[in-house]
Amino acid sequence: MKQLMSFIRKEFYHILRDKPTMLILLGIPIIQIILFGYALTTEVKNTQVAVFVPTNDEATQRIVEKINASAYFDVVKYIHSSKEIQPTFNDAKAKLVVVFEDHFAQNLRRTGSAHVQLIADATDPNAATSFTFYASNIIASYQKELMAESKNPYQIIPEVKMLYNPQMIGAYNFVPGVLGMIMLLICAMMTSIAIVREKEMGTMEVLLVSPMKPIYTILSKITPYFVLSCVNFITIMLLSVYALKVPIAGSFLSLVVVSLLYIFVSLALGLLVSTLTSSQQAAMLISGMGLMIPVMLLSGMIFPIENMPIALQWFSKIIPARWYISAVKSIMIQGLGITSVLKEVSVLGFMSLVLVAISLKKFKVRLE
């Protein structure tokens, strides 16, 4: 125990003395959350709108005026045939096209209902969700006004159509995504680099010759990064709840349990990388290229898995972050209990067992 304690203390010295790295590790989640949360998302002010009005009447005029008056939209173009819709998007002249049906006001008066189509460029899905939502609200408010004026029930049915990204990733998708990435960065990448550094410096040899048990060496290497991950987990949670107003809909405890499991998997991955490499650069490359990029591209964090070719969908199944992100989404955003993420939990559990088994075995082999 004394052995372990002196060793863990040493690991903390390493990290605390390397101030730049520590600042980066603690700062990354904050920067990422702020970037994803504010800079990169739904800047919907002055979204450019094109309007297609086949029959110009009082109702369509009012709606178009209301849309134009709102701070969110600028009506920049009137188009005169449905053929123009697609080119309008292509020229990037508009992000949203509002298409009224023929004889809109007439239909509304006679049948009490009329259709309007909102066609959105969903290349940026977060923005698209927001502005179609605002547009629907504006239309709904017009409908309310009409209802107030007369006793007839009027119904305007907005029909939302997302172009280019029909699946629509949820607006808060990135919080689980950032969690998944940061944990992996710290646990896998930093752990592997820390272990490989000992090899590179030659101090690993001294440790292996000492009576220190290999498992102790591993444990004490892992401990500080484990603590760091927990700090980051808490930072991300606080930021997302208080700064981004993404509530934790489900149980916080289940979230913690799933996260601990994921941290464990990441640590095991880091350990594995460290046994496969003998230089810090190699460790960084493997964890960077081999772990970070698949996580960003294939975990569903940025691109929806459902849109991928089948082969990549299969490949994404071996990426731990995919399962973690999916579990966090269910718990945090959808508010489901731990029982509904049993599949994710068991996959992660299985992965951690396999990884730990392989890396412990590898670590022993290297001793000889």
Binder to other proteins among 3, 251, 313, 340 (CB under 8 A)? 3
- Considering beta carbons, is residue 159 or 205 the nearer one to other proteins? 205
Instruction: Name residues contacting other proteins, limited to 4-33 (CB under 8 A).
Output: 5-7, 9-10, 13-14, 17-18
Q: Give the C-alpha distances (Å, rounded to integers) separating 364 from 4, 196, 198, 272, 361.
A: 19, 15, 16, 12, 5
Q: How far is CA 368 from the centre of its chain?
A: 43
Nearest to other proteins of 95, 199 (CB atom): 199
Q: Which one of 113, 167, 203, 278 is in contact with other proteins (CB under 8 A)?
A: 203
The DSSP H or E segment spanning 124 is none
User: How would you classify residue 294: left for phi > 0, otherwise alpha for psi between -120 and 50, otherwise beta?
Assistant: alpha
Whole-angstrom distance, CA of residue 6 vs CA of residue 207: 13
Give the nearest distance from C-beta 222 to other proteins in angstroms.
Answer: 17
In the complex, minimum distance from the CB of residue 182 to other proteins, in angstroms, rounded to a whole number: 24
Q: Indicate the residue among 3 and 136 with the shorter CB distance to other proteins.
A: 3
# of chain residues touching other proteins (CB under 8 A): 24
Q: Which is nearer to other proteins, 9 or 343 (CB)?
A: 9
CA-CA-CA-CA torsion for 173, 178, 181, 187, nearest 10 degrees? -140
Smaller CB separation from other proteins, 199 or 322: 199
Six-digit token string for 128: 């698209």
Q: Which of residues 204-243 bind other proteins (CB under 8 A)?
A: 205-212
Structure-derived torsion over alpha carbons of residues 252, 253, 258, 259, reported in degrees to the nearest 10:
70
Nearest-approach distance from CB 364 to other proteins, in angstroms: 11
AA identity, residue 140: A
Residues in the chain: 368
Q: What is the rounded distance in angstroms from the CA atom of residue 62 to the CA atom of residue 58?
A: 6
Nearer to other proteins, 1 or 310 (CB): 1
Please identify, using beta-carbon distances, which residue of 1 and 311 lies nearer to other proteins.
Answer: 1
Structure tokens at 293: 């990029």
Nearest distance, CB of residue 366 and other proteins, angstroms: 10
The residue among 138, 131, 332 whose CA lies nearest residue 240 is 332
Residue 280 interacts with other proteins (CB under 8 A)?
no
Sites of contact with other proteins (CB under 8 A)? 2-3, 5-7, 9-10, 13-14, 17-18, 201-203, 205-212, 367-368
